[in-house]
Amino acid sequence: MFLKKRNKICKAAAVICGLCIGTAVLISGSHSVKADGENANGNDPTATPEASVEPSPTAEIPVNTDAPTMVPSEVPSTAPTAVVSPTAAPSAKPTAKPTAKPTPKPTENPYKNIKLNHKSVKLGLGELVKLSLGSKAKGTKWSTTNSTIVSVNSKGWLRGLKPGKASIKGEYKSKTYTCKVTVKDKGIEFLNYEMKKSEVLRLHLDDKDKAKWTSSNTSVAKVSEGKITALKEGSVTVKADTGKKVYSCNITVDNKEKGVIYLTFDDGPTSSSTPKILSILKKNNVKATFFTIGMDSVKEKYIKQEDEEGHTVAIHGASHDYDKIYASDAAYMKNIRTQQNNIYKVIGKKSWITRFPGGSSNLVSRHYSRGIMSRLVKEVDKAGFAYFDWNVSSGDAGGAYTSSQVYNNVIRGLNKSRDNVVLMHDFANNNKTIGALDSIIKYGKSHGYVFKPITSSTNEVHHGVQN
């Protein structure tokens, strides 16, 4: 789902990035690619000739060099005899720089000193890098050969949008300069995200460096260490600056919906229950969340299907064995990381959404490690995971034995004034839930509820920890 979402996001981002990255120059002061004007007087005759440079986007690149050897090859035979302003020609005031090397012939060459700061750039998703022809190339027209892969705004700021290759062209006085761009599949988790007021979204960076997070408008959404809290309606750009690279995500905040139902299915997938559940969900056009256990070829097939049909594939664990997973804090963390990796290998997306086997309020873990749940709820959060308990139980793992019991448990538990997280199971042969599901969805829809899958910004629903 994330991939599809990303594609969708890319198109939107390509349109609006001009707005968002226009402000980048203000916040990305520590970014090592210098902006226009920062070294406008950088007449460095020792600068490496452009042809031998394959700059990495993180390298210090002189924006504007005066390498005299550049000049002859840069003069096309049809060079227009444009009038060059005095400030554009250092040779006009030779006395101003007594230590400078003898200047080349004082031809009025409009391309003199004009050079692209990057011939090629590797960008992460959502990463911002500035292209420049130097401070003298005023009015450069920037364009991209593929706006779904990389965008560029009028100031030359690039933003990686989708893995792939494209070129950026800078047109200055009828000469075109080209920068080849490769966008990698790593970067910031979302490029564009819609949030409801009071939702909290956790953003993850693939970059291992610790980032400084900032919001362009802290009254609309504030951010602290990747956790974004939506405060009021509006749009903001959230940036993560690692000191070497800057990434951005565009956040739109609007009003919160009332009466959301999150259907969740634990302990699957299984060949006897999961396909039947998926088919009922599909028929009703409802997206749900699957807290999966383990991986094998059968599970792989259904996890792929869950993802392809727009459901959220989440983490219950590689194992559900209480004695093993609650034996120690490290054992539990390993159990969810293993399943995160299992899922990643199958659908190519990292899930950060988890549910403790037995819920965070379970007492069974006490047999294996006293106080472990109190420690784990903090540790899981610190590691970047969100955990979801439930506030509506179908009783299908005990207590409910028929479809009508499952149905009644669910609809009695629903409450219009909150987010309803419904606990159900797709373990083997769970026919009572399969038999109730269609009626539960019809009840919800006819009573004004909306069904949604849990996402990175869904408010976490927690039980009280008892161990």
Binding residues for Zn ion, rule: CB under 5 A, are: 266-267, 357
Distant-in-sequence, close-in-space partners of 371: CB < 8 Å, separation ≥ 6 = 467
d(CA 454, CA 17): 27
Report whether 171 contacts 198 (CB < 8 A). no
Cα-based distances in Å from 447 to 197, 277, 394, 442: 23, 22, 18, 8
Q: Which of 125, 170, 116 is nearest to 17 (CA)?
A: 125
Distant-in-sequence, close-in-space partners of 270: CB < 8 Å, separation ≥ 6 = 298, 302, 426, 427, 428, 429
Return the exposure string of 149-187: e unless at least 16 CB atoms fall within 10 Å of the residue's CB, then b.
Answer: bbbbbebbbbbbbbbeebebbbebeebebebebebeeeb
Q: Shortest distance, CB of residue 422 to Zn ion, whole angstroms?
A: 14
CB-nearest residue to Zn ion: 266
Q: Shortest distance, CB of residue 126 to Zn ion, whole angstroms?
A: 35
Q: Shortest distance, CB of residue 407 to Zn ion, whole angstroms?
A: 21
Q: Shortest distance, CB of residue 306 to Zn ion, whole angstroms?
A: 16
Spell out where 118-272 has E strands: 120-125, 127-130, 141-144, 150-152, 157-160, 164-172, 175-187, 192-196, 200-202, 212-215, 221-224, 227-230, 234-241, 246-254, 260-266
Q: Shortest distance, CB of residue 386 to Zn ion, whole angstroms?
A: 17
Q: Shortest distance, CB of residue 425 to Zn ion, whole angstroms?
A: 7
Q: Shortest distance, CB of residue 320 to Zn ion, whole angstroms?
A: 6
Q: Shortest distance, CB of residue 267 to Zn ion, whole angstroms?
A: 4
* % helix, strand, coil for the chain, step of 5: 30, 25, 50
**Closest to Zn ion by CB, 172 or 356:** 356
**Closest to Zn ion by CB, 221 or 293:** 293
**Closest to Zn ion by CB, 66 or 266:** 266
Residue 35 DSSP code: P
Q: Shortest distance, CB of residue 237 to Zn ion, whole angstroms?
A: 39
**Closest to Zn ion by CB, 246 or 424:** 424
Instruction: Show the tokens assigned to 462.
Output: 């927690």
Can you state the angle between helices 403-413 and 431-446, rounded to 10 degrees?
A: 40
d(CA 33, CA 28): 10
